[in-house]
Amino acid sequence: NTVSPMGARLLKRWLIFPLKDINKINERLELVEMLIIETDLRSKLSQAVKLCGDIERLVSKIPMRKINPREILQLARGLRQATIIKELCQSSDNEYLHRLGDALNGCPYICEKIFREIVENPPALAAKGGMINMGINAELDELRNIAHNGKEYLVRLQQQEAERTGISSLKIGFNNVFGYYLEVTNSHKSKVPSDWMRKQTLANAERYITPELKDYEEKITGAEEKIFQLELKLYEALVNELFDYLSPVQANGNIIAIIDCIACFAYNALHFQYKKPLLHDGDDWNIREGRHPVIERNLPTGDSYIHNDLELNKEAQQIIILTGPNMSGKSALLRQTALITLMAHVGSFVPATEARISLTDKIFTRVGASDNLSGGESTFMVEMNETASIINNITPRSL
């Protein structure tokens, strides 16, 4: 039930590498307990985490310069949410959550720079252009104005020159030989200014160019290519600036993933009646009304899981020999005990009404069997090898 890809990946790592430090386990359990009570805070945190997107994946693209404009904008949105998460965490009385909030860095400078420079709906590829906002670069704005408003400029220039010279019939044209030109009829040739350069003589008119018209022509003919190159240059400069923020953004991703996982634990505990386990340094397990968390969730609608009690200790019951027919739940009880122990060691509440669990370093199971014909091992040999592996690696704190 994590709401972000970062949280999902971290939860998998937590399950593969559970904690063995009681203080750290209890720190997580206390935060889960607080978020069960503070449902409004948990809801706001989960919503903000969900809007973050996958910051870890996005920031991993920066060193290889593989991040595209759409992703860089999503990164900025994630950083903005990180600031909101920071404020929510710091509003809490829980020391662990407050500490997580203090460690978050919204990177306000680069965040606002991205929002300022990148358009609201950028292309998926920088090569398509059109990702830089207006008002960021004067040259880019001028080139865009030339490329997009060329006709308006020519009309203004024509009116300007007509008023200056008094040639009412003046018009601007274009051909592929010498580009843009001013055309003057023979009746107005005497009014042509000295700074105009004649380029072509016709039967009834003459064509001229001016320095201003020539400059404009050079700008407009290469404007689109220049726009693309300049946008790419500005975008690359922005990506290069992100290199200075790799560490804080990566740290943000990890912290947000932690919050996501713990909020997920609180959600599950609240909705599936999980209880807070008690971990201790002793060597006994006492689980009351334990349930298998996976089987329970996959039962047909209306069916309820039949809970089980379990007690293990060195004095009275170190080993349980459980017999019964097929499909009676023998393996389910074994797996259920292992899962409850594992869940407790990652800081989650567990599917039981009460759970007293010994601090554990390893969990061993040997369930089901199949042969290994390619390796020359029968089913019995496979079972014996796996059992031998358990015996050789077990410790006093193993389950």
User: Given this model, what pLDDT does residue 67 score?
Assistant: 92
In the chain, residues under CATH classification 1.10.1420.10 are 5-133+232-266, 140-224
CB of 140 closer than 8 Å to CB of 132: yes
Residue 267 near residue 39 (C-beta atoms within 8 A): no
pLDDT, residue 375, reads 79
pLDDT tens for residues 337-372? 999 999 999 999 999 999 999 999 998 888 877 777
pLDDT in tens, 92-141: 999 999 999 999 999 999 999 999 999 999 998 888 888 999 999 998 98
Within the chain, all domains assigned CATH 3.40.50.300 are found at 274-357
Of 374 and 15, which is predicted with more confidence? 15
Topology of domain 140-224, CATH: MutS, DNA mismatch repair protein; Chain A, domain 3 (1.10.1420)
pLDDT at 192: 85
Of 126, 237, 222, the C-alpha closest to 179 is 222
Q: Which two tokens stand for residue 79?
A: 């950083």
pLDDT digits (tens, 9 = 90+) for 36-91: 999 999 999 999 999 999 999 999 999 999 999 999 999 999 999 999 999 999 99
* pLDDT at position 111: 94
pLDDT at 293: 92
pTM of this prediction exceeds 0.85: no
Beta strand residue intervals within 250-394, DSSP E: 278-280, 285-290, 308-312, 354-358
Q: What is the mean pLDDT of the chain?
A: 90
Give the pLDDT confidence score for residue 367 in this predicted structure.
82
Confidence of residue 151 (pLDDT cuts 50, 70, 90): low
Buried b (16+ CB within 10 A) or exposed e, 100-133: bbeebbbbeebbebbeebbeeebeeebeebebbb
Average pLDDT of the segment spanning 288-305 = 89
What is the reported pLDDT for 144? Answer: 84
Q: How many Cβ atoms are within 10 Å of 163's Cβ, its own excluded?
A: 11
Share of the chain above pLDDT 90, in %: 55
Would you state the CATH architecture of domain 5-133+232-266? Orthogonal Bundle (1.10)
Angle at 145 between CA 140 and CA 147, to 5 degrees: 95
Token pair 């379990």: residue = 310
202 burial (CB, 10 Å; 0-12 / 13-18 / 19+) is: exposed
The CATH class given to the 274-357 domain equals alpha beta
Q: Please report the pLDDT score of residue 171 as a whole number.
A: 87
